[in-house]
Amino acid sequence: MELEELKNKKILVVGAGVEGSAALKYLKKHLPDSVIDVVDQKDGSTYLYKQKEYDLAIKSPGVKAELLTIPYTTATNIFLANAKGKVIGITGTKGKSTTTSLIFEMLKKQGLNVYLGGNIGQSPLDFLDTLSDQSWTVLEMSSYQLQDVKKSPHIAVLLMIVPEHLDYHQSLEKYVNAKRNILRFQTSKDFVILNRDYPATNESDILTPGEIFHVSRERETAGDGSFVRDGKVWLKIAGGEAEVIDTKDVLLPGKHNLENACAAVIAATLAGVSILNIQHVLKTFKGLEHRLEFVAEIGGIRFFNDSLATLPQATISALEALKETETLIAGGFDRGLDYKDLAKVIVQSGIKTLILFPTTGERIWKEICEETDNPPEKFDVTSMEQAVGIASAETTPGKICLMSPASASFNLFKNYKDRGEQFKKEVESLKN
């Protein structure tokens, strides 16, 4: 929704989090004569009872649309309608933050005028006024932000899609449809990057008139794209093929990160970044905090923080990346996800010690016991202090203790960051 359309309207900002606060600040600056108020669910169950007194709501991510009885838009829509320059949008169930950060670093290394925002932290409304026609915005986009969009980014990156947030979206179909909005409103002048290794992503090509590029770490792409072959990352574009980097030189650990690297290679190339600058970032980018983050080596035990792993698939990827894991700390808030595949991988990985938080810890343990008659030694805990203390005592020097919960954090921690920070704090305390 363009700024002009918001003039002379009485506006209610619904949600006082990062996006709501940024929307309030932006609108008050540009519409000084308008009535603009903010409400939040923390105000109580009746926080929306006066909404009919307003012409329009600005809905924050996670607020269910059915709660609103008046027309609404979102901060993401306001940004996309008013932004100068070009936008690269990235979504997927896992890998969003890593891929977004890689693309941002590559464009920055090239010397482009580039901004980073969206689900990764800062609302893009905070820097909307500073954009020029030469600017690039790299935007991490969640399913919550995408479910209401009316415009797609110039370059849309759609990574792996597996079930998540079904408690909010109510069905896998609705979740996938929300993700697909990232490319649904493109034109023939736009580009889309699809991970062909996941059916829900690969089959999204029919929804866009944009030019399509494919990503794969399992096979060579038929058309233009980026893929892994013979231990190297390749770029295939405009009829030519170029070797980008040897996979062993990519600093990010784990095969799953090669998918993210391939997606970043294409997006950066389309934005005009040289292969030399792409190589530099892939060789030096260490990754995100709370995602396969090395914390410390104490008593010969290497501790890794993977608190961002809120899905079974993310923990499976972590175990595949860190083959020397002997102790796994897992479990958390139950969102009804399936832990059968994770249990198989835990058994196959030869994990010796399993430290489990409620409530999914019980479900993970049940699946493991159905998988094997010789399960790992199990410890049930309710605090990070307990978990790290047991891990320190039970892990063999030379091996890895991995905290990768495969679950959300909300029952015992504020969020995944709080969980990760507590893990790092307790690991550091082992030094004393």
Exposure class string for 215-232: b at 16+ Cβ within 10 A, else e: bbbeeebeebbbbbeeee
Domain 3-76 shares a fold with domain 83-284: no
Mean pLDDT by 10 residues, the chain (432 residues): 90 92 95 95 91 96 90 96 97 90 97 92 92 98 91 96 57 86 96 93 93 94 94 94 96 89 98 98 91 93 94 88 95 91 94 96 96 96 97 97 94 93 97 83
Q: Domain 3-76 carries which CATH code? A: 3.40.50.20
- Give the start-to-end residue ranges of the domains of the chain: 3-76, 83-284, 293-429
Residue (of 396, 213, 415) closest to 333 by Cα position: 415
**The two structure tokens encoding residue 407:** 């679950």
Tens digits of per-residue pLDDT, 65-114? 899 999 999 999 999 999 999 999 999 988 888 999 999 999 999 999 99
Q: Give yes or no for a contact between 292 and 254, defined as CB atoms under 8 angstroms apart.
A: yes
How far apart, in whole angstroms, are the C-alpha atoms of residue 250 and residue 247? 5
Tens digits of per-residue pLDDT, 145-161? 999 999 999 999 999 98
Tens digits of per-residue pLDDT, 17-72? 888 999 999 999 999 999 999 999 888 889 999 999 999 999 998 788 899 999 99
What global pTM score does this model have? 0.79
Other beta carbons less than 10 A from residue 333's beta carbon = 17
When the candidates are 3.40.50.10190, 3.90.1300.10, 3.40.50.720, 3.40.1190.10, the CATH number that belongs to 83-284 is 3.40.1190.10
pLDDT, residue 169, reads 45
Query: In CATH, which superfamily holds the domain spanning 293-429?
Result: Mur ligase, C-terminal domain (3.90.190.20)
Tell me the one-letter amino acid at 108. K
- CA triple 13-76-202, angle to 5 deg: 140
